[in-house]
Amino acid sequence: MSSKANRTPAGLKLLTNGFIVIWLILAAFPFLWTFWGSFKVELDFFSIADWTSALTGDRTLITYGSAFTGAGYEGAWVQEEFWKAVINTAIVCVCVVCISLTLGTLGGYALSRSAYRYTFWILIIALIFRAMPPITLVSGYMLPFFEWNLWGVLPTTIVVLVAINQPFTLWMLHSFFQKIPKDLDESAKVDGCTQFQAFRYVIIPVMWPGVVTTGLFSFLLAYNDFAVTSMLLAKENQTMIPKIASFLGTTQTEGNVMFAVAAVVSATAPLFVLVMIFQKQIVGGLTAGAVKG
């Protein structure tokens, strides 16, 4: 490929590099801008008088005596008790990832090792379920959950998210397990292991790369969900995303918009770290399904 790169004409090179720069600005600038602006007052964030004041923070300087202020964060985390939502999100995400990986590895392993025709139909049904928009399922939950008094609490939401997560987890782990040679557990069985022992002692030690990737996507699904969490959680049990949405309802008074901005930045930060650490796994996971299909 290097010989090709050497022969790239300067004009074309300029064009592609220019394009990359524009794309990078489009992809990254909104986040940097919002992060910077979250330390300002609303009049600077929405720069009515002069857009440069969003950079220099003129009004923030007048109000707080410094060009940066943590007032938005203080308002969101302390006054509006965003920390509760953060804890709820942490509980939901950890539980969803652990439970759905446990169920998913068992199921995915079985699907990859069974040669019968019904495995195909189970995978097809899972694919159909994967296509269902979660919000359509939510309208099915509401009435029974109200009737049985299950509505509004975290465990219900966790179970629902795990279930919605299953089809995807199953597909992904199924394709990972297929890459692990069958001889490995077959020979363990020849040596006298039961199927479960073969799974426990032979497969589990080598499956972690696939499980980590799948776990990442389960985490993202639970973390990013808005439809399920906003409809199934009572106000005091809300996770971050519905909490941010509820900030928006009360944005008319000054300062509240900044609470929402601060909360948005707080909720984006973990995702940044996640992408930074697991970039390779995320790219690998996205392409795993594609290259196969």
Region 221-280 residues binding another protein, contact defined as CB under 8 A = 223-224, 226-227, 230-231, 241, 244-245, 248, 257, 260-261, 264, 267-268, 271-272, 274-276, 279
Site for another protein contains 83 (CB under 8 A): no
Question: To the nearest whole angstrom, how small is the minimum distance from the Cβ of residue 170 to another protein?
Answer: 6
Residue 7 or residue 65: which is nearer to another protein going by CB?
7
In the complex, the smallest distance separating the C-beta of residue 152 from another protein, rounded to whole angstroms, is: 14
Minimum CB–partner distance for residue 242 and another protein (Å):
9
Of the pair 10, 131, the CB lying nearest another protein is at 131
What is the full DSSP assignment across the chain?
-HHHHHT--HHHHHHHHHHHHHHHHHHHHHHHHHHHHTTS-HHHHTTSS-TTHHHH-HHHHHHHSSS---HHHHIIIIIS-HHHHHHHHHHHHHHHHHHHHHHHHHHHHHHHH--STHHHHHHHHHHHHHHS-HHHHHHHHHHHHHHTT-TBSHHHHHHHHHHHHHHHHHHHHHHHHHHS-HHHHHHHHHTT--HHHHIIIIIGGG-HHHHHHHHHHHHHHHHH--HHHHHHB-GGG--HHHHHHHHHHT-SSTTHHHHHHHHHHHHHHHHHHHHHHHHHHHHHHHHHHHHH-
Cβ 57 to another protein shortest distance, Å: 14
- Rounded Cα distance between 65 and 289, Å, is 53
Give residues 90-119 in contact with another protein (rule: CB under 8 A): 102-104, 106-107, 109-111, 113-116
Give the total of residues touching another protein (CB under 8 A). Answer: 100
If we measure between CA atoms, which residue out of 106, 232, 210, 118 comes closest to residue 164? 232
**Amino acid identity at 230:** S
Separation CA 18–CA 51 (nearest Å): 26
Burial degree of 130 (CB within 10 A; 0-12, 13-18, 19+): middle
Interacting span for another protein (CB under 8 A) from 40-48, 63-71, 78-86, 203-211: 40-48
Nearer to another protein, 65 or 293 (CB): 293
Given 40, 41, 45, 207, the residue binding another protein (CB under 8 A): 45
Select from 58-66, 68-76, 77-85, 123-131 the region that touches another protein (CB under 8 A): 123-131
Does 183 bind another protein (CB under 8 A)? Our answer is no
Query: Considering the rule CB under 8 A, would residue 192 count as an interface residue with another protein?
Result: no
- Minimum distance from CB of 97 to another protein (Å)? 14
Binding mask 155-174 for another protein (x = CB under 8 A): ----xx-xxx-xx-xx----
Interactions with another protein, residue window 199-218 (CB under 8 A): none
User: Minimum distance from CB of 63 to another protein (Å)?
Assistant: 18
26 binds another protein (CB under 8 A): yes
Looking at the Cβ atoms of 9 and 205, the one nearer to another protein is: 9
